Amino acid sequence: MNAYIITGVSKGIGLELAKQLSEEGHFVIGAARTPSELDGVNFIRADLSETEKLEALMDEIIALMPQDTVSLTLINNAGMVDPIGFIGNVHAVEMTKAIAVNLTAPLILSTAFISVLKNFEGVKRIVNISSGAGRNAYEGWGTYCATKAGLDHFSRVVALEQESAAYPVDIVSIAPGIIDTGMQETIRGSKEEAFPLLNRFIDYKEKGLLSSAEQTAGQLIAFMENIDFKTAGPIADLRDF
């Protein structure tokens, strides 16, 4: 049995990943604040900004895994683009929450995943959903860019450390491209003075240049099923595969 753990499973890519993987017959556990009622998906309500609870959450998730599990994949998908605005004009509370959800939570969940499964001899993988914003600077996205850059660099470190592990975990931080999700709605709802590239993102929508969550999830699944993570390297872009 192949098992998948997906955060941010109530909408967007996370929802589609859970749906498609469960339809393929895999064991799927989804975590999110908002309940998801997908058939075949085991849902756990969790607020990833409550980082002090995440180690226990991973213990709870691993305890649910079937005895015949031969591979485990953690997909750190949950994320938020807010706060949008120039540094100096955004609020500390919003920045703190974004850092918790986008960066602290994946770090803690990945650490717990590696620790709890250190003696598991099957296939173990971590997929961090990153962004081009972690590799390029965009005005108005200071917090988002910083968290995704941090996620990328964390993935590099884990990949390096796991080279000497007895039963290593493969890891990749992958940018999925520009997708028509609620995050894009949030971006288009911002103000140009807060995000100078606003009109470009409005054009993406109006010109039909956004990938669907369904299409992107299918491409991610194909990547996970067909690409050797070591060959891809710890930093990847889905559009290259």
pLDDT in tens, the chain (241 residues): 999 999 999 999 999 999 999 999 999 999 999 887 788 899 999 999 999 999 999 999 999 999 999 999 999 999 999 999 999 999 999 999 999 999 999 999 999 999 999 999 999 999 999 999 999 999 999 999 999 999 999 999 999 999 999 999 999 999 999 998 888 889 999 888 888 888 988 888 888 888 999 999 999 999 999 999 999 999 999 999 9
Distance CA 240, CA 133 (A): 17
Distance CA 86, CA 2 (A): 43
Give the pLDDT score at 204.
86
Q: Which amino acid, 145?
A: C
CA 55 to chain centre: 17
Do the beta carbons of residue 184 and residue 201 sit within 8 Å?
Answer: yes
CATH fold of 2-178+212-240, please?
Rossmann fold (3.40.50)
Q: Quickly list DSSP for 51-96.
A: GGGHHHHHHHHHHTS-TT--EEEEEE-----PPPB-TTSS-HHHHH
Q: Does the predicted model carry a pTM greater than 0.85?
A: yes
Distance CA 8, CA 20 (A): 15
Distance CA 131, CA 151 (A): 10
**138 tagged catalytic:** no
Q: Tokens 């998908």, residue?
A: 77
* Residues 6+ positions from 209 with CB-CB distance below 8 Å: 178, 203
Give the pLDDT score at 62.
96
| Residue 101 CB neighbours (<10 A) | 22
| Residue 235 CB neighbours (<10 A) | 18
Domain range summary for the chain, segments of one domain joined by +: 2-178+212-240
Copy the structure tokens of residue 74.
């953690």
Do the beta carbons of residue 82 and residue 186 sit within 8 Å?
Answer: yes
CA distances (Å), origin 198, targets 7, 85, 130, 203, 226: 28, 11, 20, 9, 36
Q: Which of 4, 138, 144, 167 is catalytic?
A: 144
Copy the structure tokens of residue 195.
């995000």
Distance CA 183, CA 205 (A): 12
CA distances (Å), origin 197, targets 141, 144, 203: 10, 15, 10
Do the beta carbons of residue 123 and residue 76 sit within 8 Å?
Answer: no
Give the pLDDT score at 196.
87
